[in-house]
Amino acid sequence: MIKKILIANRGEIACRVMRSAREMEIKTVAVFSDIDRNAPHVFMADEAIHIGASQSKDSYLAIDKIINACKQTNADAVHPGYGFLSENANFAKRLHNENIILIGPNAASMEIMGGKISAKQAVAAYNVPLIPGIETAITDIALAKRRAEEIGYPILIKANAGGGGKGMRLLEQPEDFESQMRLAISEAVSAFGDGSVFIEKYISKPRHIEIQIIADNYGNICYLYERECSIQRRHQKLVEEAPSSILTPSLRSKIGESACFVAKACNYSGAGTVEFLLDADMNYFFLEMNTRLQVEHTVSECITGIDIVKEQIRVANGEKLSFTQNEIPIHGHAIELRICAEDPLNNFLPDIGTLNTYIRPQGIGIRVDDGIEQGMTIPIYYDPLIAKLIVWANNRTEAIARMKRAIQEYKISGVATTIDFGTFVMNHPLFISGDFDTNFIKDHFAPLKLQPVLSNDESQAAISIVELLIERNNTCITFPQSKKELPFIENYTF
Whether residue 49 is predicted with pLDDT greater than 70 in this model: the reply is: yes
Shared domain check, 215 and 285: yes
Return the CATH number at 41.
Answer: 3.40.50.20
For 140, counting Cβ atoms within 10 Å of its Cβ (0-12 exposed, 13-18 middle, 19+ buried), the class is exposed
Q: Are residues 330 and 469 in the same domain?
A: no
Residues 197, 211 within the same domain: no
pLDDT tens profile 420-438: 999 999 999 999 999 999 9
% pLDDT > 90, the chain: 76
Answer with the one of 181, 201, 221 that is the final residue of a domain: 201
**Domain presence at residue 126:** no
Residue of 169, 292, 396, 402 marked catalytic: 292
Say what the pLDDT of residue 133 is. Answer: 87
pLDDT tens per residue across span 367-418: 999 999 999 999 999 999 999 999 999 999 999 999 999 999 999 999 999 9
Residue 494 falls inside a structural domain: no
Kindly indicate the confidence band of residue 118, based on its pLDDT and cuts at 50, 70 and 90.
very high
Shared domain for 52 and 168, answered yes or no, is no
Judge if 248 and 152 occupy the same domain.
no
Structural domain for 179, as ranges: 132-201
Q: 87: pLDDT confidence band, cut at 50, 70 and 90?
A: very high
**Does some domain include residue 229?**
yes
Residues 356, 211 share a domain = yes
| Residue 243 backbone dihedrals phi, psi, to 5 degrees | -80, 180
Residues 462 and 441 occupy one common structural domain: no
Q: Which of 404, 429, 437 is nearest to 337 (CA)?
A: 404
Taking Cα atoms as reference points, which of 287, 307, 289, 288 lies closest to residue 297? 307
359 and 297 part of one domain: yes
pLDDT of the residue at 449:
81
Q: Does residue 10 have a pLDDT over 60? A: yes
Q: Read off the pLDDT of residues 219-236 as tens digits, 9 standing for 90 and up.
A: 999 999 999 999 999 889
Task: State pLDDT tens for residues 129-155.
Answer: 999 888 788 878 888 888 888 889 999
SS3 state of residue 136: coil
Task: Tell me whether residue 112 is in a domain.
Answer: no
Known catalytic residue at 292 = yes
Residue 396 included in any domain: yes
Give domain status of residue 257, yes or no: yes
What pLDDT score was predicted for residue 484? 39
DSSP output for 398-467: HHHHHHHHHHHH-EEESS--SHHHHHHHHH-HHHHHT---TTHHHHH--GGGGS----HHHHHHHHHHHH
Q: Is residue 285 part of a domain?
A: yes
Do 223 and 328 lie in one domain? The reply is yes
DSSP 20-86: HHHHTT-EEEEEEEGGGTT-HHHHHSSEEEEEE-SSGGGTTT-HHHHHHHHHHHT--EEE--SSTTT
CA distance 385 to 350: 9
79-116 in b/e burial notation, b at 16+ Cβ within 10 A? bbbbbbbbbbbebbbbbeeeebbbbbbbbebbbbbbbb
90 and 189 belong to one structural domain: no
> Which of 182, 201, 220 is the last residue before a domain boundary?
201
Q: Which amino acid, one-letter code, is at 273? A: T
User: For residue 375, is it within any domain?
Assistant: yes
pLDDT of residue 448: 85
User: pTM, whole model, 2 decimals?
Assistant: 0.87
Residue 38 pLDDT > 70, yes or no?
yes
Q: How far apart are CA 181 and CA 174, in angstroms?
A: 11
If one compares 232 and 185, the residue with the highest pLDDT of the two is 232
Task: Please indicate, yes or no, whether residues 442 and 334 belong to a single structural domain of this protein.
Answer: yes
Question: Mean pLDDT of all residues in the chain?
Answer: 91
Q: Residue 263, exposed/middle/buried by CB under 10 A (0-12, 13-18, 19+)?
A: buried
> What's the CA gap between 325 and 260, in Å, rounded?
11
The answer to whether residues 334 and 437 belong to one domain is yes
Instruction: Return the CATH number at 187.
Output: 3.30.1490.20
Residues 360 and 101: their CA atoms lie apart, in Å, by: 35
**Total of domains in the chain:** 4
